[in-house]
Structures are given as structure tokens and as C-alpha cells.
């Protein structure tokens, strides 16, 4: 570790950030998609206590908004002196996904510090960043030097279940309070080779429900029956036997050049015709390469029948479909019909909730500030990437605000390690990565609004 990295890893706010992260993990704001889950008000209360001293100075404004009982979000703002300066948003969510404790070797809501790592659900996704955002915001409010532009913490509910009770609701009901001109959030900081990945784009979501009909009958006389379950099996088989073609977008070559050292392998990956034959050679990065190079279709939920002795007449299959930039709903439906072939006429396609793919250019002043900060702290170059999943960045991009996935994890944090921790067992984050993130974040804030 270089002298600069050592200094950054012992950032003055590290201990406070770690204590805040532990407190938020222990509140267990688990969001299972139901209205009554999440209860992010508990983490809002934690943040209010953490920020109370800065609020008392009069330089930090804090407001709490509840979209439903217990589904609270917090917006904290340090106002700048120049109305023409940027308003930088730090967007961190407060909820976490459910957990199966049987898969963990530690208490998933213990927030324990063990061998230099904080353990707990949400440690990586994304409470460590939310805690870092709050620390830097608090310190800016307590500083004797005023900011030029606004610095805004958007600590929001419901990101893990689509953001309807979080940033979507805030923008509908309290748009003035949300006001930012640029933003950073999660899904960055992992390593692609020697590069640090910063997310500039996200795939879209185009969920579908396939409704299949069959002829009902008594299950004791199955001969000649054409029940919905059998037909659903045929539909599943058809979907699994056809793969959407690769469509390599503008970020693909940068990803390949950053991650793939073998020139021959890299050349083959740049050819959409030869790409699929190469995927088995990519090891742990193959899943990401497959996901960002095409539309993906994943069957997730099956429903059919009510009792074991009746051949059902009706079945439903839910699909998680992730789309590339520019893909329309009509194109998704056309692709499904083409994949189903002669089964298409027997299947109804219903639209579930979705959103388009989004992107922010890697040419904005904010991206340049991120790039400078990350390189100064880590000594490594940055590579812009597309995220296969989603975040609240997409909502801000949808209203014209440039937004990026940020973070600066340690050199051992490959993309594979990052994905293993997100929503996985034994999720944890090391103190060094928190320190590096804090150091880069302080530089970004100073660059844009300091």
C-alpha cells in the first residue's frame, strides 16, 4: 500500500463511518416487497442521531418524509454559497434484502467487526456507502469553510423492491426537496483487472407474465390430457433452448480491454458471432459478460393448480427480462414470440412492471471528478461499465440528471467478489475499502461543490 493509500485508509471519519454502518446493519430494515416491510424509519432514526450535532449548528437541514407507515426517507442538505454551482446528490438506500440465517457463519444483523471486516446484511449493498455519504455530509456541515454548491444526502427507502416507496414517491410528492443537478450512488468501485469500475449505465427491466391454458381433467386419467402444467413445461423448454443474440454496445470494448489480458481471447470477445463460444473460458466473469452483451430472460415464478388430483386448466410463468439501451416493449414481445415459435399462439403475454435501460455520459464534469479522485487515491485507472442490475441512479437519469455508480474497494475486490457479497451469504466489507471510499468521496465533494 502506498503512503497516500495508507493515509486515506486511516481517514479521520473512518471510525464514525464504521460505527454508523454497524448501527444501520443492526436495525435489520429487511424489504421483502410488501408495503409493511422495510421499516426504514429505524435507519432514519439512526441517521438523525448521527447528524444531530451538525443540525444544531444551523448549517445542515434535515427533513424526513414517509410514503407509508414506517417507510421513511431522509433528505439532508448543506447549502452552498453559489446558486450557479452544482447540487451534488449522495444517494444511499436504507433497506436490505431478506436473508437465510442458515447460510451464514455469523449473525447477519450483528454488525460485528471481525478481522478488519464488518459483517452483516447490507454491508456491501449498500449501507457502507450510505454511511460514508452521511459522514462526509456531516463533516462538510461542521467545517469552517462553506461549500460553493449544495451537498445533499438522499437516504431513501425501498430501493431493493423497485423504489416505489422511496425515490419515485419523493420525486412525485417532494420534488423541490430532492433537487440535485448530479448524483452518485451504488454499483461502483470493484476491480476489472487493474481498473476501477464506475457504473455509467444500467440495463432496463421488462418483466413479463406468460399465461398458458390447457384442458382440465381428473389427474387419475391423464391419457390424452393437455393440461396447463405440461404446456408450461414445453414453454420453459423452448425458452431455455433459445438464447438471445449478442448485441455489443459502446461500453463493451472498454470492459474487454480492462478485464481480459489474453489478446486472442479479447479479439474473439469483440466479435458478437464468436462471443458465446468464448464464454465458458471466462471463469467467474462469464455471467457478467453474458448479461451485459444481450437481453436476458430468466424464469422466476411458476403458478398452476390448486389440488394434486386435478389437471389444471391455467398456469402462469413470470419472467425477469433485462434489456439493453434502446430496447422497446414491442421488441421484447416480438422476441418472446419468436423464441416460443409454434407455441406462441397458445400463450398470452402480460406486462409486469418495468423501466428502460439508462445511461449517463462519461464526459460530464462529475464523471471527470470521480475519475480524478479514484485515480489519485488508488493509483489505478477507471473503466466505465454497465450494471446488469438496477439502482436508484436510473430514476434520476430518467429525469435528465447525470448519475453514476461509485465506490472504491480494495485491490482484492474483483467483480466476482463484489457480486458474491451482494445479496449473498456472509456479506461483509473491509475497513480498508471503507477508508478508500471515504478518501475518494472527499475529493469528489471538494472538486464539485467545495
DSSP class per residue in 116-170: TEEESTTIIIIIHHHHHHHHHHHHHHHSSS--SSEEEEEEES-GGGTSTTTHHHH
Give the count of beta carbons closer than 10 Å to the beta carbon of residue 211: 16
Residue appearing with cell numbers 463533516: 139
CA separation for the pair 265, 254 (Å, rounded): 14
Query: What CATH number is given to the structural domain containing 107?
Result: 3.40.630.10
Q: Is residue 192 part of a domain?
A: no
CA separation for the pair 391, 383 (Å, rounded): 19
Q: Could you give the count of Cα atoms lying within 13 Å of 102 in the half-sphere of its Cβ?
A: 0
Domain boundary, last residue among 321, 355, 389? 355
Query: Quick one: 315 and 301 in the same domain?
Result: yes
The count of structural domains within the chain is 2
Domain boundary, last residue among 303, 320, 355? 355
Domain boundary, last residue among 330, 355, 380? 355
Q: Is residue 438 part of a domain?
A: yes
Strands (E) across 305-346 are located at 310-311, 314-323
For 68, residues 6+ apart whose C-beta sits below 8 A from its C-beta are 35, 36, 165
Query: Quick one: 336 and 408 in the same domain?
Result: no
Query: Quick one: 139 and 212 in the same domain?
Result: no
Q: Is residue 196 part of a domain?
A: no
Ranges in the chain, pLDDT < 70:
1-11
Q: Is residue 197 part of a domain?
A: no
Query: What CATH number is given to the structural domain containing 284?
Result: 3.30.70.360
Residue 120 belongs to what domain range? 3-187+360-448
Q: Which residues of 47-56 are buried (b: 16+ CB within 10 A; e: fewer)?
A: beebbeebee
Query: Quick one: 379 and 440 in the same domain?
Result: yes
Strands (E) across 170-259 are located at 182-185, 191-192, 195-202, 204-213, 217-218
pLDDT at 7: 44
Query: Quick one: 177 and 214 in the same domain?
Result: no
Q: Is residue 318 part of a domain?
A: yes
Q: Is residue 183 part of a domain?
A: yes
The 3-class SS string of 391-421 reads CCHHHHHCCCCCEEECCCCCCCCEHHHHHHH
Query: Quick one: 122 and 255 in the same domain?
Result: no
Q: Is residue 195 part of a domain?
A: no
Smallest CA-to-CA distance from 202 within 105, 327, 70, 347 is with 327
For residue 230, give Cα distances in angstroms to 120, 304, 332, 340, 395.
42, 10, 25, 15, 40
User: Could you give phi then psi for residue 143, rounded to 5 degrees?
Assistant: -70, 150
For 420, residues 6+ apart whose C-beta sits below 8 A from its C-beta are none
Burial class (CB in 10 A: 0-12, 13-18, 19+), 175: exposed
Query: Quick one: 68 and 108 in the same domain?
Result: yes
Query: Quick one: 351 and 364 in the same domain?
Result: no
The 8-class DSSP code of residue 80 comes to P
The three-class DSSP label of residue 83 is: coil
Query: Quick one: 342 and 396 in the same domain?
Result: no
pLDDT at 2: 39
Query: Quick one: 365 and 443 in the same domain?
Result: yes
Burial class (CB in 10 A: 0-12, 13-18, 19+), 165: buried
Q: Is residue 193 part of a domain?
A: no
Give the count of beta carbons closer than 10 Å to the beta carbon of residue 144: 4
The 8-class DSSP code of residue 57 comes to T
Query: Quick one: 149 and 292 in the same domain?
Result: no
For residue 106, give Cα distances in angstroms to 18, 429, 431, 436.
18, 14, 18, 25
Query: Quick one: 329 and 433 in the same domain?
Result: no
CA separation for the pair 375, 89 (Å, rounded): 21
The 8-class DSSP code of residue 274 comes to T
CA separation for the pair 225, 171 (Å, rounded): 52
Q: Phi-psi region for residue 356, left (φ > 0), alpha (ψ -120 to 50) or beta? A: beta
Amino acid at each position: 500500500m502506498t503512503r497516500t493509500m495508507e493515509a486515506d485508509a486511516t481517514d479521520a471519519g473512518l471510525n464514525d463511518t464504521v460505527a454508523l454502518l454497524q448501527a444501520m446493519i443492526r436495525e435489520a430494515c429487511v424489504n421483502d416487497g410488501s408495503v409493511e416491510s422495510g421499516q426504514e424509519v429505524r435507519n432514519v432514526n439512526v441517521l438523525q442521531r448521527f447528524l444531530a450535532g451538525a443540525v444544531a449548528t444551523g448549517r445542515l437541514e434535515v427533513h424526513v418524509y414517509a410514503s407509508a407507515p414506517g417507510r421513511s426517507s431522509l433528505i439532508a442538505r448543506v447549502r452552498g454559497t453559489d446558486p450557479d454551482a452544482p447540487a451534488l446528490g449522495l444517494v444511499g438506500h436504507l433497506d436490505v434484502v431478506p436473508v437465510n440465517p442458515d447460510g451464514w457463519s455469523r449473525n447477519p444483523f450483528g454488525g460485528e467487526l471481525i478481522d478488519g471486516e464488518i459483517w452483516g446484511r447490507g454491508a456491501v449493498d449498500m449501507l457502507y456507502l450510505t454511511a460514508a455519504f452521511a459522514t462526509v455530509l456531516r463533516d462538510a456541515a461542521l467545517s469552517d469553510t462553506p461549500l460553493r454548491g449544495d451537498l445533499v444526502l438522499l437516504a431513501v427507502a425501498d430501493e431493493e423492491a423497485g423504489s416505489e416507496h422511496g425515490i419515485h414517491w419523493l420525486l412525485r410528492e417532494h420534488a423541490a426537496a430532492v433537487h440535485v443537478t448530479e448524483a452518485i450512488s451504488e454499483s461502483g468501485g470493484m476491480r476489472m483487472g487493474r481498473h476501477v469500475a464506475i457504473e455509467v449505465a444500467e440495463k432496463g427491466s421488462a418483466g413479463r407474465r406468460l399465461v398458458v391454458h390447457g384442458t382440465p381433467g381428473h389427474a387419475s386419467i391423464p391419457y390424452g390430457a393437455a393440461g396447463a402444467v405440461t404446456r408450461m413445461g414445453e414453454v420453459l423448454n423452448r425458452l431455455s433452448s433459445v438464447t438471445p443474440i449478442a448485441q455489443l454496445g459502446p461500453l463493451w470494448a472498454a470492459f474487454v480491454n480492462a478485464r481480459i489480458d489474453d489478446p486472442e481471447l479479447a479479439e474473439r470477445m469483440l466479435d458478437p458471432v464468436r462471443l458465446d463460444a468464448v464464454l465458458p473460458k471466462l471463469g467467474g466473469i462469464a455471467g457478467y459478460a453474458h448479461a451485459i452483451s444481450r437481453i436476458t430472460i430468466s424464469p422466476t415464478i411458476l403458478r398452476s393448480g390448486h389440488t394434486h388430483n386435478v389437471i389444471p386448466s391455467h398456469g402462469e410463468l413470470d419472467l425477469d427480462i433485462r434489456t439493453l439501451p434502446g430496447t422497446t416493449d414491442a421488441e421484447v414481445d416480438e422476441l418472446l414470440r419468436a423464441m416460443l415459435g409454434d407455441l406462441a399462439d397458445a400463450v398470452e403475454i402480460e406486462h409486469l412492471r418495468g423501466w428502460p435501460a439508462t445511461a449517463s455520459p462519461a464526459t460530464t464534469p462529475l464523471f471527470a471528478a470521480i475519475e480524478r479522485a479514484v485515480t489519485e487515491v488508488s493509483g489505478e485507472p477507471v473503466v466505465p461499465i454497465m450494471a446488469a442490475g438496477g439502482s436508484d441512479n436510473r430514476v434520476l437519469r430518467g429525469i435528465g440528471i447525470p448519475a453514476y455508480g461509485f465506490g472504491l474497494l480494495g485491490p482484492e475486490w474483483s467483480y466476482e467478489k463484489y457480486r458474491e457479497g451482494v445479496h449473498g451469504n456472509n456479506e461483509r466489507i473491509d475497513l480498508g475499502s471503507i477508508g478508500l471510499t471515504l478518501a475518494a468521496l472527499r475529493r469528489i465533494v471538494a472538486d464539485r461543490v467545495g
